[in-house]
Amino acid sequence: MKLGVCYYPEHWPQDLWAEDARRMRAMGLSLVRIGEFAWSRIEPEPGRFDWAWLDRAIDTLHAQQLGVVLCTPTATPPKWLVDAHPDMLAVDAQGRPRGFGSRRHYCFSSEAFREQSRRITREVAGRYGRHPAVVAWQTDNEYGCHDTVLSASAAAQAGFRRWLARRYGSIEALNRAWGTVFWSQEYRGFDEIDLPVLTVTEANPSHRLDWRRYASDEVVAFNREQVGILRELSPGRPVSHNFMGFFTEFNHHDVAADLDVATWDSYPLGFTQNFFLTPEEKVRWARTGHPDIPSYHHDLYRGMCLDAQGRGRWWVMEQQPGPVNWAQWNPAPLDGMVRLWTWQAFAHGAEVVSYFRWRQAPFAQEQMHSGLLRPDSALAQGAVEAAQVGAELRELAGRTGLDGLRVRAPVALVFDYDALWMSRIQPQGADYNALELSFRIYSALRGLGLDVDIVSPRAALGTYRLIVLPAQLHVADDLLQRLAQSAAQLVLAPRAGAKTAELHIPAELPPGPLGALSGVVVERVASLPPGWVETVRWADGAPATAGRWREDFELRDAQAEACFDVGRAAVARRGRVRSVAAWLDAAGWQRVLRAAAQDAGLATADLPESLRISRLGDLIVACNFSDQPVACTPAGARQPLLGNDTLAPCGVAVWKA
């Protein structure tokens, strides 16, 4: 469990660097990420490199025994490069090149830029790959940020045609897979295929899905080129990339397959304001963030890069240290939250928590983004709390071993990028948001006190006792096999198995290949306007409500466990498999999941919304996301290591089990 920080030596006078490094060290930080936006300083003119400053920066950090996480600088190609290769710019869905002046102004399919990316990566890795300070690499920065995965460039169109030709072999196969007989969309050759933009109305959904798959593969290929060079020139250093939150534009599992460590950038308050929470939730969690937003991603990214022992290697590469600048509203965290978030990440298995950024920059786009230091170099509240965690870590490490601790979650929640794309392409109801549903179900699990692995559809499932498919629109054969062979309780949320790989309705109707397990067939689906509420009742009369989405089940080999007031099964059970026919409220999901957990022999709790408990090895960690104290004695908690049974506002407690 290490602390780190993101640093931009190029932003500051060189005479500040040594003192900065000394203060980092004193604060308990041991890793420093640098370089991801420094191309114009590294290569100020085409082919002319200025290494002196970067040599000195790395040496200065090294002198304080700080490990450097070095980045390839490809997220911000300099103006001279854009001017030399204007075709490298991504093109938006309206056909407009996306210009220079901010960041990520490149098209993944541009061969010119790909060559430049390889060249600069080779230069940087060649110079620093074996530098003793360099302990890890990050490729590029936040792939896809600002909607930059899809590009409607000529290069993307040409690449898409080649990708389709490889995928389908013949145009007839593509015509079948896309169902182009519909609306006379048939193609006579791959050369006739455009990108699905600027169509009169909705383009063919299979066409759109393949475009997303192609674009995702381009990100994978781009990243793989960098990884290959880094592995060659910087042996032994793990290679990572910093993913984002609530971001599904490319298949992260595919990119992560080429990495050693998955990292992500955790901004709990920004995500709380900018995503799908209700206005009431945005106020309630304004200064703490929704408790389950960080852990949802911790548990997701833990599933990206498994080591030889199957342990997920992951970091928080950027941790919110105070107010940010990019959300619709940017509140300040309550005192204690930066410490809490850090402990929460460690409790979910993070190897490193690295704050973004060291010192708030007083200029340019992110000048209102706080850092550990204020622009005047005074400590901000986040730094005080980071230092506190540093001290606590040292103290705990002295009392108990912190190495090799591992999350062993009994619950798996499957997260499938391809299926999420399917749901976005045809949501069928304006507020059917599969990512939100996945989060809401996760949140219900966490409210029951359960530890959760969020896993790839390709993950081994054998160890889990409860498996949840919140948005599994398509179920591949191998996933089906693993589900069938599992002994776990299984909970299928609406739309499970609703589509084939080509984005058709399966011939046997949803849930398609899952039908044999679930014993139900979905006869009909309905999306429901806001305000339309269906009541759901269990045999004991306890009600929950449902909205947004409901399915009509035909029960072929299953029993109703709960019914809609207006008829039909809302929850159907066939042995260890429960199928849910609607978008339930929180009480409804907890009801279903509690029953499944009990059937799986898992003890559940009934936690307040603002209290969360996690288990890491033999540690139990509790986090209080409120401004009031709360009593908490987790089952099995024996020896308090940090805090006690009454958690202070924004407080953390750690016990040994």
Between 380 and 621, name the residue whose CB sits nearer to a second copy: 380
Segment contacting a second copy by CB under 8 A, of 153-161, 176-184, 250-258, 643-651: 176-184
CB 387 within 8 A of CB 30: no
96 part of the interface to a second copy, by CB under 8 A: yes
What radius of gyration do the chain's Cα atoms show?
A: 25
Report how far residue 160's alpha carbon sits from residue 243's, in angstroms, rounded to the nearest whole number: 24
Of the residues 36, 123, 318, 385, only one is catalytic, namely: 318
Residue bearing tokens 């400590």: 379
Judged by CB under 8 A, the residue of 47, 235, 404, 531 near a second copy is 531
Judged by CB under 8 A, the residue of 54, 90, 496, 571 near a second copy is 90
41 part of the interface to a second copy, by CB under 8 A: yes
The CA-atom distances, in angstroms, between 630 and each of 333, 380, 640, 646 are 19, 27, 16, 6
Judged by CB under 8 A, the residue of 50, 307, 523, 565 near a second copy is 523
Segment contacting a second copy by CB under 8 A, of 60-68, 94-102, 483-491, 601-609: 94-102
Token pair in block for residue 488: 């776990």
Q: Which 183-202 residues touch a second copy, going by CB under 8 A?
A: 183-188, 192, 194, 196-202
Token pair in block for residue 511: 């849930």
CB 27 within 8 A of CB 383: yes
Segment contacting a second copy by CB under 8 A, of 256-264, 372-380, 411-419, 614-622: 372-380
CB 360 within 8 A of CB 369: yes
532 part of the interface to a second copy, by CB under 8 A: yes
Residue 288 CA from chain centroid, whole number = 19
332 part of the interface to a second copy, by CB under 8 A: yes
In the complex, the smallest distance separating the C-beta of residue 559 from a second copy, rounded to whole angstroms, is 22
Residue 509 phi, psi dihedral angles, 5° rounding? 70, 160
Residue 423 phi, psi dihedral angles, 5° rounding? -70, -30
Q: Which 542-601 residues touch a second copy, going by CB under 8 A?
A: 552
Report how far residue 629's alpha carbon sits from residue 501's, in angstroms, rounded to the nearest whole number: 50
In the complex, the smallest distance separating the C-beta of residue 543 from a second copy, rounded to whole angstroms, is 19
Q: Which 133-162 residues touch a second copy, going by CB under 8 A?
A: 145-146, 148
628 part of the interface to a second copy, by CB under 8 A: no
- Give SS3 for 213: helix
367 part of the interface to a second copy, by CB under 8 A: yes
In the complex, the smallest distance separating the C-beta of residue 388 from a second copy, rounded to whole angstroms, is 18
In the complex, the smallest distance separating the C-beta of residue 65 from a second copy, rounded to whole angstroms, is 27
Judged by CB under 8 A, the residue of 137, 178, 415, 464 near a second copy is 178
Of the residues 36, 43, 123, 142, only one is catalytic, namely: 142
Residue bearing tokens 């699990």: 445
The number of residues that bind a second copy (CB under 8 A) is 111
The amino acid at 12: W
Between 279 and 404, name the residue whose CB sits nearer to a second copy: 279
142 counts as catalytic = yes
In the complex, the smallest distance separating the C-beta of residue 586 from a second copy, rounded to whole angstroms, is 20
In the complex, the smallest distance separating the C-beta of residue 362 from a second copy, rounded to whole angstroms, is 4
CB 389 within 8 A of CB 652: no
Judged by CB under 8 A, the residue of 28, 228, 429, 575 near a second copy is 429
Judged by CB under 8 A, the residue of 50, 83, 232, 307 near a second copy is 83
In the complex, the smallest distance separating the C-beta of residue 627 from a second copy, rounded to whole angstroms, is 8
Report how far residue 83's alpha carbon sits from residue 66's, in angstroms, rounded to the nearest whole number: 37
Q: Which 446-465 residues touch a second copy, going by CB under 8 A?
A: none
Which is it for the CA torsion 117, 123, 124, 126, positive or negative?
A: positive
Token pair in block for residue 591: 């009801």
> In 3D, which of 517, 537, 533, 501 has the Cα closest to residue 579?
517
CB 169 within 8 A of CB 233: no
Judged by CB under 8 A, the residue of 67, 77, 447, 651 near a second copy is 77
Between 279 and 398, name the residue whose CB sits nearer to a second copy: 279
Residues 6+ positions from 455 with CB-CB distance below 8 Å: 303, 412, 413, 414, 415, 461
Report how far residue 512's alpha carbon sits from residue 496's, in angstroms, rounded to the nearest whole number: 8
Q: Which 254-293 residues touch a second copy, going by CB under 8 A?
A: 273, 279-280, 282-283, 286
Q: Which 501-520 residues touch a second copy, going by CB under 8 A?
A: 502-509
Between 507 and 539, name the residue whose CB sits nearer to a second copy: 507
> In 3D, which of 529, 425, 516, 511 has the Cα closest to residue 469?
511
Residue 298 phi, psi dihedral angles, 5° rounding? -55, -45
Between 375 and 617, name the residue whose CB sits nearer to a second copy: 375
Judged by CB under 8 A, the residue of 139, 295, 344, 360 near a second copy is 360
> In 3D, which of 324, 289, 319 has the Cα closest to residue 385?
319
Q: Is 219 exposed, middle or buried (0-12, 13-18, 19+ CB in 10 A)?
A: buried
Segment contacting a second copy by CB under 8 A, of 40-48, 297-305, 404-412, 464-472: 40-48
CB 31 within 8 A of CB 3: yes
Report how far residue 5's alpha carbon sits from residue 211's, in angstroms, rounded to the nearest whole number: 37
180 part of the interface to a second copy, by CB under 8 A: yes
72 part of the interface to a second copy, by CB under 8 A: no
Segment contacting a second copy by CB under 8 A, of 15-23, 34-42, 108-116, 414-422: 34-42
Segment contacting a second copy by CB under 8 A, of 8-16, 237-245, 461-469, 632-640: 8-16
* Catalytic sites, residue numbers: 142, 318
